[in-house]
Amino acid sequence: MKKWVWVYIAGFIALTGADFATTILGIRAGASEFNHTLATSGGDLKTAQFLLVNAAMLAFTSFMLIWAWRNRLLVDKKYIYRPERAMFNWIYLNPFSERNVPKSAFHYLALAPGMLIFKIVASFNNSLISFGLPDLLTPIASAIFTFVQGPLAYWILIFLLFLPIWWLSLRVAAAFLRASAEQLAQPQA
């Protein structure tokens, strides 16, 4: 598992760099930062805050990935074979409680690939903007802005992105757990 944590950390750092670079390029192309917590009043990126938020996310998700891996044998089998069952049951106060570990360990295993996929989508979208090409998220954001403004619009867009990414991440985590179980079941030579 140690190898996979390092792969996750390296991927997160690389994709954060890609997100940062493509955001700067997109702003230079005339776009503005959409994330209200990271944007200046002029639409530029607050670099120090961007780095701080990403460092905190990396620390938290790495710790939780290690914790989840150590508790992987407690994950409810229904999530391993039908990961969509874990799609909407992620609201709980204490992921470490004995009652929640069978689902929370699975959720936190899925969080790592989800973060990487989210960063890939953001970097790809920013790249399209920086090259002056039609991007994927601006039409969705524009549609949301016809109904709501400000931070609520941002969080609605994040939620709409979250659903398919979370679905895919749960499938990745389930496949990883199935492969791990198969490896444990094979006799050692």
pLDDT at residue 146, as a whole number:
93
**Which pair of structure tokens corresponds to residue 143?**
């549609």
Q: Which residue has the higher pLDDT, 55 or 37?
A: 55
DSSP string across 138-167 = HHHHHHHHTT--THHHHHHHHHHHHHHHHH
Q: How many CB atoms lie within 10 A of CB 111?
A: 21
pLDDT in tens, 49-99: 999 999 999 999 999 999 999 999 999 999 999 999 999 887 889 999 999
How far, in Å, CA of 62 to CA of 6, rounded? 9
Q: Which residue has the higher pLDDT, 172 or 36?
A: 172
Q: In the chain, pLDDT over 70 holds for what percent of residues?
A: 97
pLDDT in tens, 99-136: 999 999 999 999 999 999 999 999 999 999 999 999 99
pLDDT at residue 91, as a whole number:
84
By the 8 A CB rule, do 105 and 92 touch?
Answer: no
pLDDT in tens, 65-79: 999 999 999 999 999
DSSP string across 86-147 = GSS----S-TTSTTTHHHHHHHHHHHHHHHHHHHHHHHHHHHHHHTT---SHHHHHHHHHTT
How far, in Å, CA of 136 to CA of 7, rounded? 28
- When the pLDDT of each residue in the chain is averaged and rounded to a whole number, the result is 93
pLDDT at residue 1, as a whole number:
66
